[in-house]
Amino acid sequence: MTNNSTRRRFLKTAGVAGVAALAGCGGGGDGGDGETTEGDGDMTEGDGGMTEGEMTEGDTETRLSWHAGGTGGTYFPLSNEFKTVVEDNTDFTLNVQSTGASVENVGSLASGDADFALIQNDIASFAKNGTGIDAFQDNAVENLQGVATLYPETITVVTLADTGITQLSDLEGATINTGDLGSGTQVNANQILESVGISDYTEQNASFSQAADQLRNGDIDAAFVVGGWPVGAIEDLANTNDLVIVPISGDNRAAAKEDASWFADDTIPADTYTGVDEAVETIAVQAMIATNAEQPEGTVESVTAAIFDNVDDLSIKTDFISADSAQDGMSIELHPGAAAYFDA
């Protein structure tokens, strides 16, 4: 359990230590369980692959590190679908890693530990401009570059029916999981709570899957989840418990959007989750693929083409992912390789 002052101390310390240090902590926008896909192309001693130290000038590294999000969110399964289409259509292999997502992934891109990553568009803007949250304040990630935007990341406020919570004002005095410490989810949650005037609450910080367990066990009253619906952890929870999705609508929606221009209107359709049979109004940020300036132009163009030329081979968020919409909400400059693909 953390309180607001503890959270601020953490973020200030992270900023002083350098954003690259965030690559070692759980901080993202789509959960964080810290796993790597089995058999996903990791180089091991004696596997016949070329190690970094053996690379020579002119060689092209074909093993790419792709940082996703927690296994209970959308980033991780979608990234594994990207892995399949990239490996089927290029000479590259992707090592997809489960992480804390947005903030952590920015640190991994900054340090070169990741070649590509999924992040939120608001976190991308904060990082690139050295503003917005303490982790990036006056500590801009200058090598961060965009590839494409993907789909709305819905802000979902979830609780159980027996808590009696049905609207945001009911969160006053509650115990709330706002997402992993330092994460994009935590940033969004605290922005929204402040905008709607909720100041008396006990904050806990954990991944989406852990938050679902906390709700089951009665350890928290509500949780903020940021991810494309349906979120796996919420689906699982809905199959065993009576859920309530708390709307962000009306004056609350207007207040949140006035304070944070990157929020957009969104709606969770009826029957997205078992037992939630009416549509729920809320807001969203945008998921995006990011890379760093050190990636070769040809690499980024090839990976981008593999994904957007083969959207029909994807099964997740296909109503939103397309080349035509891939620059909607892009909040940072494009990598030249991505620009080459989209401008062709």
Using one digit for the tens of pLDDT, what is the confidence trace for 116-146? Answer: 999 999 999 999 999 877 789 889 999 999 9
In a domain, 264, yes or no: yes
In a domain, 56, yes or no: no
CB 74 within 8 A of CB 126: no
**81 and 112 both lie in a single domain:** yes
CATH number of the domain bearing residue 237: 3.40.190.10
* pLDDT, position 29: 58
Out of 255, 285, 315, a domain closes at: 285
* pLDDT, position 135: 80
CB 111 within 8 A of CB 143: no
Number of domains in the chain: 2
**127 and 206 both lie in a single domain:** no
In a domain, 228, yes or no: yes
* pLDDT, position 27: 43
In a domain, 256, yes or no: yes
**158 and 278 both lie in a single domain:** yes
**100 and 139 both lie in a single domain:** yes
**171 and 211 both lie in a single domain:** yes
**178 and 262 both lie in a single domain:** yes
CB 247 within 8 A of CB 281: yes
In a domain, 5, yes or no: no
Out of 237, 269, 285, a domain closes at: 285
Distances (CA, A) of 304 to 51, 78, 114, 176, 298: 25, 15, 16, 38, 10
**25 and 145 both lie in a single domain:** yes
**69 and 163 both lie in a single domain:** no
In a domain, 3, yes or no: no
Out of 239, 270, 285, a domain closes at: 285
Two structure tokens written together for 219: 């350890």
Ramachandran bin of 249, using left for φ above 0, alpha for ψ from -120 to 50, beta for the remaining angles: beta
Task: For the chain, list residues with pLDDT below 50.
Answer: 1-18, 20, 23-28, 32-59
**31 and 120 both lie in a single domain:** yes
**244 and 315 both lie in a single domain:** no
The per-residue pLDDT for range 155-184, each reduced to its tens digit, is 999 999 999 999 999 999 999 999 987 678
Phi and psi at residue 28, in whole multiples of 5°? -155, -170
In a domain, 46, yes or no: no
* Full residue range of the structural domain in which residue 227 is found: 154-285
**20 and 88 both lie in a single domain:** yes
* pLDDT, position 48: 35
**119 and 197 both lie in a single domain:** no
What amino acid is encoded at 221 in this protein?
A: D
